[in-house]
Homo-oligomer: A and B are copies of this chain.
Amino acid sequence: MAARVIVVTGFEPFGPHKENPSQDIARAVHGRRVRDHVVHGAVLPVHHADTGRHVARLLAELRPDAIVHLGLANGRARLALERTAVNVLDYALPDNAGRCIVGEPCATDGPAAYFSTLPLTAMHAALTREGLPAYISNTAGAYLCNQTMYGTLHALALVPDPPRAGLVHLPSLPSMVAVSGLDEPSMDLALMLRAVHVMLDVVASDLATA
C-alpha cells in the first residue's frame, strides 16, 4: 500500500527578497516521514495565475491527506498560523510576473472567506510547549499567500472528504534582515524547520485519530 502524503509548499523569492525561508523548508522536508505519512515538499511560483495551477496539479497527482502552505511575511516576529483566507487580491508589490492587483476577488464566484482546516489550536499549543514563538493570526494579508490558501480551500470546497489545508506565515531569515538594514524581526531557519516538524506531527496525529 502506498504511503499517505502530506504536501508542504513554499514560495520562490519575490519582490526585494533574495531568499525565502518557505522555499528552503519545503525542500528540506521533502521525503521525510511523519508518523504514517511521507512529506512531499514543493516550491510554488509567485505568480497570480500559475500558483493555483501548480497547486491543482499537486492535489490531483498526489491526493494528499493534508496540504500545508508556507509563506514569508517579513516584519512578523512569530510563526503565524493563519485562521482565514479572504476573497481579496490587493497588492502593490508586483508578483514575479510583474503584475500588481488592486481590490479584485481571488474567485469571482467564491465566498468572502474560508477557514483553515488545519488543527490550529493543537498546533499552537504544541509549538508553545516546545518554546517556539507562534500565534493564531487573523489575517493572511491580501497578497499571493492569501490567494494560495484561498484558492486551495476553494478548490477543495466541492471535494468529498477533502484533505486538510491551510497556511503558516514565516518571519524573515536573519540573513535577510542583516542585509536589509531594516529593524525587523527574524527567525533562524533551523528553528523554523523544527517548528514545521512540530506542526506536521500534530497534523499527522490529528489525521490518525480523525
Contact = CB atoms under 8 A, between A and B. Distances in A.
Interface of A: 77-78, 83-84, 86-88, 90, 103, 111-115, 121, 127-128, 130-136, 138-139, 141-142, 173-175, 177-179, 181, 183-188, 190-191
A90 B124 CA distance: 14
Given A174-B191, A191-B174, A183 B78 contact: yes
A125 to B, nearest CB: 11
A134 B183 CA distance: 9
A84 B88 CA distance: 10
A136 B90 contact: yes
A191 to B, nearest CB: 5
Contacts of A132: 174-175, 178
A178 B86 contact: no
A77 B185 contact: yes
A124 to B, nearest CB: 10
A178 B128 contact: yes
Contact of A84 (B112, B128, B177, B178): B112
Contact of A133 (B77, B78, B112, B186): B186
Contact of A139 (B103, B131, B138, B178): B138
B188 A188 contact: yes
A28 B130 CA distance: 22
A185 to B, nearest CB: 3
Nearest to A142: B138
Contacts of A173: 131
A71 to B, nearest CB: 15
